[in-house]
Structure 1
């Protein structure tokens, strides 16, 4: 069961990153539905926090590897959207998600 949270958090992050990248590249005009990116961010943050919480209810140690991802995720709303700093901060989450997902699938 805990693996589902890690997969869901990773998928949510990838979908949100792809959506943000397509807006940044100018392929998608998100003006009419800008809330989608925010909703995906909230979903990603909540799923990541839930996956981290698995260490407290017997889901193994994978949550410890994912814990550092909560810091950049928590800081993202304070970095100007559409800036390269926002992109860099968002992408800094990826290694922790990959590691947490890998460990959760192996253990």
Structure 2
């Protein structure tokens, strides 16, 4: 989204990262709860993880190009700690409690990134 007075707006980028993370967690919880059987399309959870990781990287890079500059940098700093669980999750194993706990440890940072990306002068 562009505005004639400003560069690229960053909130949609952070929203995309948070949405893909949320969808991935929801799919993982549904599989763990045996609500959904993904044995025939197991790749979907992996594809969502790749989308989450890529959109998180784009959101973090908005600290360099995003407008408004201040809120872009604050949002990137709020999201940055989510990188650690995203890096660790492939090594956490899929059985037991470790995998969901590591995955859920990123949630506050995705929420912080979205909250900080919102332009304060547009809030009412």
TM over 0.5: yes
Give 1 or 2: higher helix fraction: 1
> Which digits, 9 at most, give the CA deviation of each residue in 1:13-42, with x for residues without a partner?
111100000000011111000000000000
Count the aligned residue pairs: 107
Give the TM-score taking structure 1 as reference length: 0.94
Match of 2:88 in 1: 75
Structure with bigger gyration radius: 2
Q: Aligned-pair distance for 1:82?
A: 3.4
Using the TM superposition, name which of 89-98 and 56-65 deviates more: 56-65
Match of 1:20 in 2: 28
Match of 2:18 in 1: 10
For residue 46 of structure 1, the aligned residue among 42, 50, 54 is: 54
Are 1:56 and 2:69 matched, yes or no? no
List structure 1 segments (4+ residues) > 2 angstroms apart after TM superposition.
none
Runs (5+) with no aligned partner, structure 2: 1-8
- Aligned alpha-carbon RMSD (Å): 1.1
Runs (5+) with no aligned partner, structure 1: none
Are 1:66 and 2:79 matched, yes or no? yes
Asked if the contact 1:24/1:82 (under 8 Å) is kept, the reply is no
Give the TM-score taking structure 2 as reference length: 0.82
